[in-house]
A and B are shown apart, each in its own frame.
Chain A
Amino acid sequence: MNVVIWISAAILVVAAVLVLIRMTIGPTMLNRVVAMEVIIAIVVAGLALEAVLNDNTTTLPILVVLSMVGFVGSVSVARFAARDEKGRKA
Chain B
Amino acid sequence: MTWPVIADIITSVCVLTGALLSLIAAVGLLRFPDLLTRMHAGTKPQVLGLLLILVGVGVQFGGPDHIGMLFAVAMFQLLTAPISAHMVGRAAYLYRHVHEEYLVIDELMPVMGDGAE
Interface size on A, residues (CB 8 A): 53
Number of contact residues on B: which range applies? 35 or more
Contact B84 A79 (CB under 8 A): no
How many residue pairs, one in A and one in B, have C-beta atoms under 8 Å apart? 169
A89 to chain B, nearest CB (A): 7
Within A55-72, which residues are at the interface with B (CB < 8 Å)? 57, 60-61, 63-64, 67-68, 70-71
B31 to chain A, nearest CB (A): 9
Please measure, in the bound complex, the distance between the C-alpha atom of A34 and the C-alpha atom of B42, giving whole angstroms: 7
Q: Does B20 contact A (CB under 8 A)?
A: yes
Tell me the A residues contacting B by CB distance below 8 Å.
1, 4-5, 7-9, 11-12, 14-19, 21-22, 28, 30-31, 33-35, 37-38, 41-42, 44-45, 48-49, 51-52, 57, 60-61, 63-64, 67-68, 70-71, 74-75, 78-79, 82-83, 85-90
